[in-house]
Amino acid sequence: MAHRVPRDQSLQRVHGVGALFSAAYGNVGSSIYYALGVVAAFALGLTPVAFMIAGLIFVCTAATYIEGTVMFPEAGGSSSFARHAFNELVSFVAGWGQMLNYIITVAISAFFVPHYLGVFWEPLRTSPGDIIGGIVLIAALAALNVRGTQESARFNLILAVGDLATQVLLVIVGIFLVLSPEILIDNVQLGIAPTWGDFALGIALGMIAYTGIETISNMSEEAVEPERTIPRGTGLVVAAVLALYSLLPIIALSAMPVTQGPDGFTTELGTTYAGDPVLGIVENLGLGEGITDALRVYVGILAAVILVIATNAALIGVSRLTFSMGQYRQLPERLRQIHPRYRTPHIAIIAFSVVASLAILPGQADLLATMYSFGAMLSFTVAHVSVTWMRVRYPDKERPWTAPGSIPFRGYRLPLTAVVGGLATFSAWIVVMVMNTPTMAIGAGWMTIGVVVYLLYRRRQGLFVRETVKVVLPEPLDVEEVEYRSVLVPFEDDPFSEQTIGTAARLAARKGRGIHVLSLLNVPAHLPIDAPLPALQEKAQSKIERAKLIGGRRVTGHVLRVRPGQAPKAIIEEAVEINAVAIVMQLAYRNDAPLYGKTLQGVLAKRPCRVIVAADPLGGGSRDKVAALA
């Protein structure tokens, strides 16, 4: 008997409250470094109000994500919520919108890092320096995340604390030196500066300053005690960003007030310093040349650092989301593959890092910002609707954490925060599309391409569009097993069983061991053995392909044509030919009673090696039971 050390395909639970906070804050807290200028260009003197309204919506969204994630602690965020509330198609739509959000987050955060590092070298603030710098940063962080997120999480925590201290310092200095209620009041001319349409767009764009809460949800599978760490980590993020995002815009508009010129009403915050608005605050605090220069360098470094955190957190998020979508067969299995050494979804990290790098190439920050908002508002809206509907669909399911406040509806208690948040984020999504036609066109194109690919992939796999089919992950058995160098898995006319392949994968989990699938095609006696049977041939071959999705490269297989009644002999001969150490066969059931069919009985009677019978009496809903017959 040999005690196995399995190589499973699951993610490790390593992240505590600090790691979850730093990863999410890196995404949420970083947005102020570019969102402040983007919002000010439209909302002008009402920029602080726009951020405050967006902050209230963020509180509702955070409550929704805590309830949904603690209820179902798995990677996927809004995609996971939609799966449990509705079906797989809605889940994919949410996930694909979320994927756009993460890709743009990586792109826009990395793109602005060189702008702040321009305090050292001016060419970094303009093209092509900012583009090249952003792409180099994405490549470096992709390499870091391939090696493992535990190292990345420690890196994030150190940087998040430094950035938080910097923003607090700016607020304190600004309150004493430039804060002016009179200037803030004079900045506003309702309906004129800004117009109501621009103010609405400012609120919608202000929401991008609060996106990133998905990060905690997508790291939930790696969270230690998710029912405790997720609420605490999210609560810390909410408290930090609400306080700072309420004060920084006020300081900024006091230092750079709205003025009227030939081009209408503007503020330097949204023009001169649109690319580095926080540096604009520093340069207009009136601290004197020497102190200002030193503070510019300090803030430039810290701003770049927090944007690095954002890029890194988004890479973590997109890799976890891809892992989840691939696990549910929404995306090709290859994308979700785990690195054999570092146990990270390295293919996803590399692939979407390349896509984000391509998004930087045009160098258009405004378009990146609106696309960012498009994906985020879509994901948030689906999350709100899903958590609301889960109150109806699963009224009695245990909820370790529930959002405060509820609305009575036909005997159910709907979460108030999800209802209010859903209406708000959906309105923001509509405003972004109406006010920016290119964003609507690109966003619609992205979603259309995704849905078409999803439909074609599902059709190729022989799966229903709305059906939830989860790949069975090889997990270690809870007993000691002998070493199985090669395992044979035969299928006859019985349905494909993921549990049977999962059992074989666990028994042959070590490197160098193989799984061979023998898919038997029974040819009726009145037909030639090589008679064309395309439908049956395709069905038999599909079992091999589905097995490869679960077992990966270790799985080989072929279709063998046999006459009725010859299956036991064919299986035994195949086992002898490939020197199989074990044969794994599934046990069929009828009315909850096991059926020991003729094929299974025939193999057991003349077995050339050990036979493992995988029994799943609940039809795939529970962990399979394994009976080993020597």
Tens of pLDDT along 47-84? 889 888 988 888 888 889 888 888 887 767 788 899 99
Does 344 map to a domain?
A: yes
| Encoded tokens for 578 | 């490939």
Does 400 map to a domain?
A: no
The CATH number of whichever domain residue 26 belongs to comes to 1.20.1740.10
The CATH number of whichever domain residue 588 belongs to comes to 3.40.50.620
Rounded alpha-carbon distances, angstroms, from residue 153 to 216, 323, 427, 559: 12, 18, 34, 47
pTM over 0.95: no
Claim to verify: residue 44 and residue 118 sit in the same structural domain: yes
* pLDDT given at position 19: 67
3-state DSSP helix/strand/coil % of the chain, to nearest 5: 65, 10, 25
Does 77 map to a domain?
A: yes
Claim to verify: residue 128 and residue 222 sit in the same structural domain: yes
Claim to verify: residue 351 and residue 445 sit in the same structural domain: yes
CA dihedral 34, 39, 45, 46 (to 10 degrees): -130
Angle at Cα 494 formed by Cα 589 and Cα 584, nearest 5°? 80
CA 70 to CA 57: how far, in whole Å? Answer: 20
Claim to verify: residue 450 and residue 594 sit in the same structural domain: no
Residues 241-259: b if buried by 16+ CB within 10 A, e if exposed: bbebbebbbbbbbbbbbbe
Does 476 map to a domain?
A: no
Low-confidence ranges of the chain (pLDDT < 70): 1-20, 22-27, 29, 75, 148-157, 159, 211-227, 338, 340-343, 471-484, 509-513, 589-596, 616-630
- The DSSP secondary-structure symbol of 121 reads -
- Choose the final residue of a domain: 405, 439, 456: 456
Claim to verify: residue 441 and residue 540 sit in the same structural domain: no
Claim to verify: residue 52 and residue 198 sit in the same structural domain: yes
Claim to verify: residue 524 and residue 442 sit in the same structural domain: no
Whether the Cβ atoms of residue 335 and residue 148 lie closer than 8 Å to each other: no
- Choose the final residue of a domain: 403, 437, 456: 456
Residues 180-217 pLDDT 10s: 888 888 888 888 888 888 888 888 888 777 766 666 66
Domain count, the chain: 2
Length of the chain in terms of residues written: 630
Claim to verify: residue 202 and residue 53 sit in the same structural domain: yes
Rounded alpha-carbon distances, angstroms, from residue 139 to 146, 219, 329: 11, 21, 27
Q: What is the DSSP string of 18-29?
A: HHHHHHHHHHHG
Sign of CA dihedral 551, 552, 556, 562: positive
Q: Tell whether omega for the bond before 181 is within 30 degrees of 0, i.e. cis.
A: no
User: Which residues span the domain enclosing 24?
Assistant: 17-380+420-456
Closest CA to 386 of 60, 90, 66: 90
Q: Are strands 486-491 and 582-590 parallel, antiparallel or unpaired?
A: parallel
Does 81 map to a domain?
A: yes
- The DSSP secondary-structure symbol of 139 reads H
| Residue 558: its H or E element | strand 555-562
Angle at Cα 65 formed by Cα 63 and Cα 66, nearest 5°? 65
Instruction: Classify residue 77 by burial, with Cβ atoms within 10 Å: 0-12, 13-18, 19+.
Output: buried
Claim to verify: residue 502 and residue 428 sit in the same structural domain: no
Claim to verify: residue 449 and residue 535 sit in the same structural domain: no
CA 176 to CA 388: how far, in whole Å? Answer: 45
Q: Are strands 264-266 and 406-409 parallel, antiparallel or unpaired?
A: unpaired
Q: Which residues pair with 259 in a beta bridge?
A: 266
* pLDDT given at position 34: 83
Does 387 map to a domain?
A: no
Does 469 map to a domain?
A: no
Phi first, then psi, for residue 482 (nearest 5°) are -75, 165
| Encoded tokens for 215 | 């990060």
Q: What is the DSSP string of 43-83?
A: HGGGHHHHHHHHHHHHHHHHHHHHHHHHHS-STTTHHHHHH
- Choose the final residue of a domain: 434, 456, 478: 456
Q: Strand, helix or coil at 595?
A: strand
- The DSSP secondary-structure symbol of 563 reads -
Phi first, then psi, for residue 515 (nearest 5°) are -120, 125
Closest CA to 504 of 596, 625, 618, 612: 612
Does 7 map to a domain?
A: no
Claim to verify: residue 513 and residue 374 sit in the same structural domain: no
Helix ranges restricted to H, 256-288: 277-283
Claim to verify: residue 425 and residue 521 sit in the same structural domain: no
